[in-house]
Structure 1
Amino acid sequence: MTGDHSVGALGPLVGYHLRRASSAFAADFAAAVEGTGMRQVLVGILAVVAGSPGINQGAVGRVLGIKRANMVSLINELVDAGLLDRAVDPGDRRAFSLSTTDAGGATLADCLARIEAHERKMLAGFTDAERATLLDLLGRIERRETTAA
């Protein structure tokens, strides 16, 4: 399938190839955002908050599939870096609403530009239709996973 060496029984296994593709994407992603201090999960949180200012921490975690216990330290990291503002949610005094700071918006814009270049590079051999098909197929796997839980 890939390279000159047979992977034997792994060849027809979709999961094997998804893992390999994911690993290649993750390594190139890390190189693309190197020097920003950001990781995939942090970019994801910033993107969700920027898209829904005032969203509460729990909702961000649900959207991204991040466990509640992990969200606290991730949000603290972004607040401490001056990228997110956290305030008591006026609708639920037990929750925090989040918004990006100016620095958070600038960091997100920089990371998104780097990520778009990374994706163009990784998918250079794909047509727009193939890219759309890939996103559709991956989305079908994701939706199946969330409905099976």
Structure 2
Amino acid sequence: MDETVKSAEAITQQCLQHFDVNWLINRAAHGLREAMDAEANAHGTSIRGHIVLTALVQNDGRPYSQLALGHALGVDKTTMTALLDKLERSGLVVRTPDPNDRRARIPVITEAGRELQAKLYDLLKAVEARVLDPLTPEERETLRSLLRKIIPMEHVEGSCM
């Protein structure tokens, strides 16, 4: 084994033994995000694209402006515009004029977007199950419960993606 790889593994082991919750949560999130992004990429989008599609499905009937959607997901307007551009080019979203503000656009999920969101939702649940496989079902629920306790319910600045 290459000395650089051995050194990196040793550093990782030291970090895992340390009780730095921020590092542990971020490493766990990074691994899960990478696995989910690979699955989403295999289906023509990204995990961020899936999160946007999911937000649009969950908010069905109450349209978000592009700006409000970005705010709800903690994504700046430039990044949201780029995400919606990709989703629109793929036929997953269309943007319609906001009847209350001619400068604003309202992203609306298409039928193809709904189908992909539903398909990816199931596939991403399977990815999550693989990543969390080392945990017992009780440990998985404990993890979810503990994370819910430390995540504030009011709007939090910063991206959820």
Within 2, Cα distance between the matches of 1:51 and 1:148? Answer: 21
Q: Percent identity?
A: 27
Q: Which moved more, 1:26-35 or 1:45-54?
A: 26-35
Is 1:77 aligned to 2:86, yes or no? yes
Normalised to the residue count of structure 1, the TM-score between the two structures is: 0.82
1:17 to 20, 24, 27: 24
1:107 to 113, 116, 120: 116
Change (3 A) 1:100 1:27: same
Change (3 A) 1:144 1:52: closer
Residue 110 of structure 2 aligns with an amino acid whose one-letter code is T
Q: CA RMSD in A?
A: 2.8
Q: Provide runs of 4+ in structure 1 moved above 4 Å.
A: 144-149
| Gapped regions of structure 1 (runs ≥ 5) | none
| Gapped regions of structure 2 (runs ≥ 5) | 1-8
> How much does 1:92 deviate?
2.6
Within 1, Cα distance between the matches of 2:155 and 2:64? Answer: 21
Residue 55 of structure 2 aligns with an amino acid whose one-letter code is V
Matches of residues 1-149 of structure 1 in structure 2 within 5 Å? 6-7=13-14, 11-53=18-60, 54-143=63-152
Residue 119 of structure 2 aligns with an amino acid whose one-letter code is D
Contact conserved, 1:43 with 1:111, CA < 8 A, in 2? yes
String of CA shifts for 1:22-51, please: whole Å, max 9, x gaps.
222122213333421211111111100111
String of CA shifts for 1:84-139, please: whole Å, max 9, x gaps.
01101123322211211111111111211110111111222434443333223323
Partner residue of 2:5? none
Within 2, Cα distance between the matches of 1:145 and 1:55? Answer: 18
Greater relative CO, 1 or 2 (CA 8 Å, sep 6+): 2
Aligned residues: 147
Q: Which moved more, 1:27-36 or 1:63-72?
A: 27-36
Normalised to the residue count of structure 2, the TM-score between the two structures is: 0.76
Residue 109 of structure 2 aligns with an amino acid whose one-letter code is T
Change (3 A) 1:76 1:64: same
